[in-house]
Chains A and B, each alone.
Chain A
Amino acid sequence: MKIYVPLDSAAVALGADAVAEAIVTEAARRGVTIELVRNGSHGMVWLEPLVEIATDAGRIGIGPMTVADVPALFGGIARHPKALGLVENLPWMKGQTRLTFARVGVIDPLSLADYRAHGGMVGLDRAKAMSKAEIVAEVTESGLRGRGGAGFPTGIKWKTVSEAPGERKYIVCNADEGDSATFADRMLMEGDPFTLIEGMAIAGLATGAAKGFVYIRSEYPVAIRIMEAAVRLAREAAILGAQFDIEIRVGAGAYVCGEETSLLNSLEGKRGVVRAKPPLPALEGFMGKPTVVNNVISLASVPVILAKGAAHYKDFGLGRSRGTIPLQIAGNVRFGGLYETAFGLTLGQIVDDIAGGTATGRPVKAVQVGGPLGAYHPRSDFATPFGYEEFAGQGGLIGHAGLTIFDDSADMLAQARFAMEFCAIESCGKCTPCRIGAVRGVETIDRIAKGDAAAIPLLTDLCSTMKSGSLCALGGFTPYPVLSALTHFPDDFTPAKEAAE
C-alpha cells in the first residue's frame, strides 16, 4: 500500500505530521505493510492535509484528513467518508496548465529517480549540447519574464551576464518570498527542488557562471531543509560539482532583502541596504561580479522551456505576458491555494469561479493583487485580464501573482495605514522618501481617520513623492495599496464624526 502525505508547510501547519505518524502506527497495529511518501502539495489548501493512496486506476485523494480519519483508510478507500476520487480529476486540477508545477505534489521531492521518471533533467541534457548563445536565445524566445514581480525579460538578463567580461560570474536565486499571499516559491522548493537546481544549472551553462546561491527566507524552515537535502543529493549524483555548484543561504527576517540589490548586500554579509542602479547586478552584482538574480519561479520555468522548446511555452498567455503563471489565491477565500494557468484569465474568473469567493460567505469587497505593494482592486476591476501590462493599465501590478481576498468587513483605511506602517518597519533606511515618508504616511492617515479631510491631499502628494523619489519598489510601490484604497473606497476615508453626528 503506497500512501502519500504532504510535507508541504501548509499541510504540516494543518496537521500533516500527526496524520503521517498516525498512519504508520495504525498500519503497524494492523500488520499492513505500507510505503509512506512525503510529497509536495497539489495546491488545494482547503483539502490539506490531503492524503493520497495509489491504486491501479490512479491516486485517490482523501481530505482534509485528521488523525481520527486514519483508521478508515484501511477499510476500503472508496468508502472513506472523506474520499474525493482521483486527484487528477478534481476540477481544480483539471482546469490548470501545469508546466512549472507539473511535478509538484506528484513526485517524492527528494527522489532523483522519481524526478527523472517524470521528465526531469531533459532540459539540462538538451542545454549541455547547446552553445551559451543558443540557450540564451531559447529562453529569450520563450518570452519568459521575471516572475518575482518586475517582469524583466529573463533571456535579456542572461544575455547581459553571458556577454559580460570576467572569469567569475554568479547565479543568485531570489527565494526571499516575503509578499503576503505568495507561496509559489515555497511550494516549488518543498515539492520539486530538483527543478530549481536544474534551472540554475542551465543558467550556469548559459552564462558561464560556476557558482549559484539560493537565498531562502528564514520563515521557510521546511523549504530550507528540503533544498539543502536536494543539493546534497544532486552533488552525490554529480549533477552539481566542479562545473557548477549551489550553496543555500538563509535570510534573517528583512522583507527588503527580496529586492535584488539588497539581497546581494545581505549575501555578502552586509546590512540589507538597497544599492543604487546602475551598475546593474548583471554587470556588477555579487562581490562586484556579473550576476544573474532571478526569482525561484523564473529559474524553475527554464527546464520545461528547454525540454519542450520555447514555442511550446510561448504559445500560452496573452499580449506580452507569455507562458503560465502560478496564481496564489489567499486571504479570506473559500478555495485557496496554487493554480497554475496561462496568463489571461480575468480577475473575476479567478476570484468568483476558481476561488469560489470568500471563506466567510460574505461578499468580496477588495482583492489585493501582487502582495503588500500591490493595489486593492474593487469588483469594478474584475474584467481585467491577468497580465503584466493589463494590471499596470488598472493602476496596479501582478507582482509575484499573489491575490488576497477581503470580504465586506474589511476597513480600507486600516489597510492603507498598514501599508504605510509595513513600509516604515521594513524600510532599509537608505532613501528619504521611503524611510521618512512611510512614517509621515501613517501619521497622515491617522489624521484622516480623526476626520481631518485636509490631510487627504497631503496623503496623495506624499504618495507621489514616494512613488517617484524612492530608490526601490518598497517605497516606490507602497503608494499602490494606499492610493487604490483611497480611490476605490472613499467611504472608508470619510470622517468617522459624520456617522456620529
Chain B
Amino acid sequence: MLDSADLSDRIAEIIADHQGLEGPLLPILHAVQAAFGHIPQPAVPQIANALTLSKAEVHGVVTFYHDFREAPAGRHILKLCRAEACQAMGADRVAGAIKAALGIDWHETTADGRVTLEPVFCLGLCACGPAAMVDGRLVGRCDASVVLEVSA
C-alpha cells in the first residue's frame, strides 16, 4: 500500500499529465482508477483543488458514472450483460446461476474478496450473447461455467 504522501504525489503526477486537456476531469478519474483500482477518498479534494472545482462537484461526477468505484473491487471483476439482446439468449438464467454459485448479488464482492459481480448494459456482442467480460477479457455465448475463470 502507498502511504498518504506517495498517494498524493502519484495523484499530482496524474493531474499534471492531463491538465492541458479541455475538460480533463474524466480522463483524470480514469487514470486514478487505473492506478489504484478505485478513486481513493483523498483524491477528491486534491483533484477539486487542482481544477478549481468544489469537492461536491468532483464527488458528484465520481458518483454519477457507473465505472468509478469508491472502494476497491475483488481480485477479479466479472461483468455480465443484462441488456435485451443477451436476455433473448437467456442472460437472466445465466446470471441467476452465477449469483447462486458465488452467493452474491449485483455490485457485491464475495466474502473472500475473490470476485466482484457487476451488471453491464451492452458490450456490443449482441449477435453472440449472452456476453460477459472477465477482468477485461470478452466472452461470447457465455454460460454459468464462466465463474470457473474467476476461481483462483
Which chain A residues have a beta carbon within 8 Å of chain B's beta carbons? Answer: 9-10, 12-14, 45-46, 48, 177-183, 186, 218-222, 247, 249-255, 266-273, 286-287, 328-333, 336-337, 359, 368, 371-372, 402, 404-407, 410, 415, 418, 422, 425-426, 428
If A251-B67, A254-B66, A337-B127 are given as contacts, then 19 extra A-B residue pairs at C-beta distance below 8 Å, sorted by A number, are: A14-B128, A178-B121, A180-B86, A180-B126, A181-B84, A182-B126, A219-B124, A252-B67, A253-B67, A269-B25, A269-B61, A287-B23, A328-B126, A329-B127, A330-B126, A331-B126, A372-B83, A418-B84, A418-B87
The reply to whether A252 and B30 contact each other, CB–CB distance below 8 Å, is yes
Q: How many Å lie between the Cα of A186 and that of B125 in the bound state?
A: 10
Closest A residue to B29 by CB, please name it: A252
| B131 partner residues in chain A, CB cutoff 8 A | 13
Q: Which of A48, A186, A271 contacts B60 (CB 8 A)?
A: A271
Return A471 CB to nearest CB of chain B, in Å: 16
Return B84 CB to nearest CB of chain A, in Å: 4
The reply to whether A10 and B128 contact each other, CB–CB distance below 8 Å, is yes
Assess A270 versus B126: contact at CB under 8 Å? Given A180-B121, A218-B67.
Answer: no
The 5 closest A-B pairs by CB, nearest first: A336-B127, A269-B25, A180-B83, A330-B126, A13-B140
**Interface CB pairs A-B, < 8 A, 5:** A219-B133, A266-B26, A269-B25, A337-B127, A405-B88
**B120 at interface (Cβ–Cβ under 8 A)?**
yes
The reply to whether B122 and A219 contact each other, CB–CB distance below 8 Å, is yes
Assess A177 versus B124: contact at CB under 8 Å? Given A13-B131, A331-B84.
Answer: yes
Return B125 CB to nearest CB of chain A, in Å: 5
Q: How many Å lie between the Cα of A414 and that of B27 in the bound state?
A: 37
Which chain B residues have a beta carbon within 8 Å of chain A's beta carbons? Answer: 21-27, 29-30, 51, 57, 60-61, 64-68, 83-89, 120-129, 131, 133, 136, 138-141
| B61 partner residues in chain A, CB cutoff 8 A | 269-271
Return A67 CB to nearest CB of chain B, in Å: 16
Return A409 CB to nearest CB of chain B, in Å: 9
| B141 partner residues in chain A, CB cutoff 8 A | 14
Q: How many Å lie between the Cα of A266 and that of B86 in the bound state?
A: 27
Return A193 CB to nearest CB of chain B, in Å: 15
The reply to whether A410 and B88 contact each other, CB–CB distance below 8 Å, is yes
Return A472 CB to nearest CB of chain B, in Å: 16
In the complex, how many residue pairs between chain A and chain B have their CB atoms under 8 Å apart? 153
Assess A269 versus B88: contact at CB under 8 Å? Given A45-B127, A329-B127.
Answer: no
Return B81 CB to nearest CB of chain A, in Å: 8
| B24 partner residues in chain A, CB cutoff 8 A | 269
The reply to whether B22 and A9 contact each other, CB–CB distance below 8 Å, is no
| B30 partner residues in chain A, CB cutoff 8 A | 218, 250, 252
The reply to whether A426 and B121 contact each other, CB–CB distance below 8 Å, is yes
Return A412 CB to nearest CB of chain B, in Å: 12
Return A41 CB to nearest CB of chain B, in Å: 10
Return A399 CB to nearest CB of chain B, in Å: 12
Closest B residue to A365 by CB, please name it: B88
The reply to whether A181 and B126 contact each other, CB–CB distance below 8 Å, is yes
Q: Which of A182, A255, A406, A407 contacts B124 (CB 8 A)?
A: A182
| A269 partner residues in chain B, CB cutoff 8 A | 23-26, 51, 61
Q: Which of A219, A266, A271 contacts B120 (CB 8 A)?
A: A219
| A333 partner residues in chain B, CB cutoff 8 A | 127
Return B3 CB to nearest CB of chain A, in Å: 28
| B133 partner residues in chain A, CB cutoff 8 A | 219
The reply to whether A10 and B140 contact each other, CB–CB distance below 8 Å, is yes
Closest B residue to A190 by CB, please name it: B124
Q: Which of A179, A268, A410, A428 contacts B122 (CB 8 A)?
A: A179
Closest B residue to A180 by CB, please name it: B83
The reply to whether B27 and A249 contact each other, CB–CB distance below 8 Å, is yes
The reply to whether B128 and A13 contact each other, CB–CB distance below 8 Å, is yes
Closest B residue to A15 by CB, please name it: B140
Q: How many Å lie between the Cα of A267 and that of B83 in the bound state?
A: 25
Q: How many Å lie between the Cα of A404 and that of B124 in the bound state?
A: 12
Candidate in A219, A359, A407 with the most chain B CB atoms within 10 angstroms? A219
| A48 partner residues in chain B, CB cutoff 8 A | 128
The reply to whether A404 and B65 contact each other, CB–CB distance below 8 Å, is no
Return A256 CB to nearest CB of chain B, in Å: 10
Q: How many Å lie between the Cα of A37 and that of B61 in the bound state?
A: 41
Candidate in A250, A253, A254 with the most chain B CB atoms within 10 angstroms? A253
| B126 partner residues in chain A, CB cutoff 8 A | 180-183, 328, 330-331, 336, 402, 404
Q: How many Å lie between the Cα of A220 and that of B139 in the bound state?
A: 13
Return A284 CB to nearest CB of chain B, in Å: 15
Candidate in B29, B131, B140 with the most chain A CB atoms within 10 angstroms? B140
Return A459 CB to nearest CB of chain B, in Å: 19
| B21 partner residues in chain A, CB cutoff 8 A | 247
Assess A183 versus B27: contact at CB under 8 Å? Given A269-B61, A332-B88.
Answer: no
The reply to whether A181 and B85 contact each other, CB–CB distance below 8 Å, is yes
The reply to whether A253 and B65 contact each other, CB–CB distance below 8 Å, is yes
Return A252 CB to nearest CB of chain B, in Å: 4
